[in-house]
Copies of this chain bind each other. A is one copy, B any other.
Amino acid sequence: MVLPLIVQKYGGSSVADAEKIMSVARRIGRGRDSGVDIVAVVSAMGDTTDALIDLARSISPTPDPRELDLLLSTGELVACTLLTMALRTLGYSALSLSGTQAGIRTDTTYGRARIHSIDTGRVQMELAKGQLIVVAGFQGATEDLDITTLGRGGSDTTAVALAAALGADRCEIYTDVDGIYSADPRIVPRARKLDEIGYDEMLELASYGAKMHPRSIELGSFYQVPIYVASSFGDAPGTLIHKKPDENPSDEDPMEDRIRVTGIACNTNVAKITVRSLPDRPGIAAALFEPLAKVGMSIDTIVQNTSVERSTDISFTVSRTDLDEAVRQVEGVLDSIGATGVVSDATLASVSVIGSGMQNTPGYASRMFRILADGNVNIDMITTSEIRISCVVKEEQAQEAVRLLHHGFQLDQDP
C-alpha cells in the first residue's frame, strides 16, 4: 500500500530550542498517525546561521564562500539530527539525512547554489522501510561532494524540490506566520489571511515583499506542487498556494468574479542605480548588464528614458545588499560604454498591486496611480507584469502607500 506522501518544512524559529523541537516532532507524529509518509526539511535552530557567520567574520572579514558554505551547513545538520532524536524519543522510526545524503546535487555557485538534480534513491529506500525522514535544508553537494548552500529561501527550495522529485502529494511550509495575507498585517492591521492563492500571484507577492522566497514558488509552479503555508505554533488554517481554478479566467466569467486584486506587496530592500548619458546605440544595455549577470546579481525594474540627442539614461533597481557591488561593476564598464557617470539611491521601496484577475483587464494601473496621487505619494518608476503593477516610491511613503492601496482596492472587506 502506498501512503500519501507529504514534505514538511520547518523554519529556524520553529526549531529554536529543545521544547520547540519536541513540539515539531509531535506535529510530525500526528501526521504519521493519520497515515501519511512524511519527509521533514529543517532549517538551522533560531539564530544559528547568523552566529556561524559572526564566527567566520571573527576569523576573516570576507570568508571564502566554499568554506563558509561548509561551515553554515552544520547548522541544519544539528537541527536535523535533534529533530530525528525527538521523533525517536516519541517512539517513531526516524532517520536524518544531510543534503548530500538526500541526493541533492547542485552547481558550484557557493552561497547561492542552484539544484541540478535530486537522486531520491536513498530517501525512497528509507521511506519504504517505514521511516520518517528528516532532511537538512538549505544545502546540497557538488559532484565532488563539496558542500554548497542554496542561499536565501534555501530550506523552502529544498522542501519544494524534494516534493517535486518525490512526486509528493503536497509540500507544507511551517513557519512563524500563519499564512499569506492580502498585505503585511504589521502595516495594514485589517489585512486578511488568504485561503488560497495562485502560483503566479504568490510569485509576485514573494518577489515584492512577502516572506517566502520566489525560488520555491517558481519550482512549485513548474512542477505543480501544492504548497501549504501555515504556522508551526498552532492549528489555525493556513494558505494553499496552488493552481487556482480561476487563474486563467475566460472572458465568459462574470466580470465581478475576476476583478479583485489578491494582495498588496511592499519591498523596502530596493536601491536604484542610474547610469547617465549613455550613447543610444545597439549593444549598450548588454554591455552594461552582462557584468552584473556574471556575478549572479538579480536586476529588478529597468527603465530607459527617451533618447535625447542620441544619448540616454538607464535606471535599474537592485537589492540594497547588492548595491555596492553593482556600482563597482557598473563603474568598471563606464568608460568602455561611453557613459558620463553613475548615481545611486538606497532610500526607495516598491509597492505592488497583485492579482491574476487583473490580467487583460484595463483600468487597474490608472486606479493605482489615482489612489497614490490622492495620497500625495510620488511615483519614481513604474513596471508592470501580467498580474502585477509596481511603483517605486520613497521608502518613507511606502507603508502609507500600502495602506492606501489595500483600502482603495477594497481588500479590507470580505470577498
Enumerate chain A interface residues (CB-CB to B < 8 A): 18, 21-22, 52, 55-56, 58-60, 63-64, 66-68, 70-71, 73-74, 77-78, 80-82, 84-86, 88-89, 95-96, 98, 100-101, 122, 144-147
B96 in contact with A67 (CB, 8 Å):
yes
Instruction: Provide the residues of chain B in CB contact with A73, threshold 8 Å.
Output: 77
Instruction: Provide the residues of chain B in CB contact with A63, threshold 8 Å.
Output: 85
- Contact for A74 among B66, B77, B88, CB less than 8 A: B77
Q: Given A89-B60, A98-B147, do A67 and B81 touch, yes or no (CB 8 Å)?
A: yes
- Contact for A100 among B85, B86, B145, CB less than 8 A: B145
A81 in contact with B70 (CB, 8 Å):
yes
Closest chain B CB from A74 CB (angstroms): 4
Give 5 nearest A-B pairs by CB, closest first. A74-B74, A71-B81, A18-B58, A60-B89, A60-B85
B81 in contact with A68 (CB, 8 Å):
yes
Q: Given A71-B77, A74-B74, do A146 and B101 touch, yes or no (CB 8 Å)?
A: yes
Instruction: Provide the residues of chain B in CB contact with A66, threshold 8 Å.
Output: 95-96
CA distance A73 to B77 in the complex (A): 9
Closest chain B CB from A121 CB (angstroms): 10
B64 in contact with A88 (CB, 8 Å):
yes
Instruction: Provide the residues of chain B in CB contact with A82, threshold 8 Å.
Output: 55-56, 59, 71
A101 in contact with B145 (CB, 8 Å):
yes
Instruction: Provide the residues of chain B in CB contact with A101, threshold 8 Å.
Output: 144-146
CA distance A21 to B144 in the complex (A): 27
Instruction: Provide the residues of chain B in CB contact with A85, threshold 8 Å.
Output: 56, 59-60, 63-64, 67-68
Instruction: Provide the residues of chain B in CB contact with A98, threshold 8 Å.
Output: 70, 147
With CB as the reference atom, state the residue of chain B lying closest to A95. Answer: B66
CA distance A88 to B61 in the complex (A): 11
CA distance A73 to B74 in the complex (A): 9
Grouping DSSP codes into helix (H, G, I), strand (E, B) and loop, the A interface class, with mixed when no group exceeds half, is: helix
Question: Which of A59, A100, A122 gathers the greatest number of chain B CB atoms within 10 Å?
Answer: A59
CA distance A330 to B23 in the complex (A): 40
Instruction: Provide the residues of chain B in CB contact with A145, threshold 8 Å.
Output: 100-101
B88 in contact with A60 (CB, 8 Å):
yes
Closest chain B CB from A46 CB (angstroms): 12
With CB as the reference atom, state the residue of chain B lying closest to A147. Answer: B98
Closest chain B CB from A284 CB (angstroms): 38
- Contact for A64 among B52, B84, B144, CB less than 8 A: B84
Closest chain B CB from A88 CB (angstroms): 5
Closest chain B CB from A47 CB (angstroms): 15
Instruction: Provide the residues of chain B in CB contact with A122, threshold 8 Å.
Output: 144
Closest chain B CB from A54 CB (angstroms): 10
A88 in contact with B67 (CB, 8 Å):
yes
Closest chain B CB from A149 CB (angstroms): 12
A86 in contact with B59 (CB, 8 Å):
yes
CA distance A280 to B381 in the complex (A): 96
B96 in contact with A70 (CB, 8 Å):
yes
CA distance A338 to B71 in the complex (A): 56
With CB as the reference atom, state the residue of chain B lying closest to A45. Answer: B55
30 A-B pairs with C-beta separation under 8 A: A18-B55, A52-B78, A55-B78, A55-B82, A56-B81, A59-B82, A59-B85, A59-B86, A60-B88, A60-B89, A63-B85, A64-B84, A66-B96, A67-B81, A67-B85, A67-B96, A68-B81, A68-B85, A70-B77, A70-B96, A70-B98, A71-B78, A73-B77, A74-B74, A74-B77, A74-B78, A98-B147, A100-B100, A101-B146, A122-B144
A86 in contact with B70 (CB, 8 Å):
no
Instruction: Provide the residues of chain B in CB contact with A78, threshold 8 Å.
Output: 52, 55, 71, 74
Closest chain B CB from A201 CB (angstroms): 39
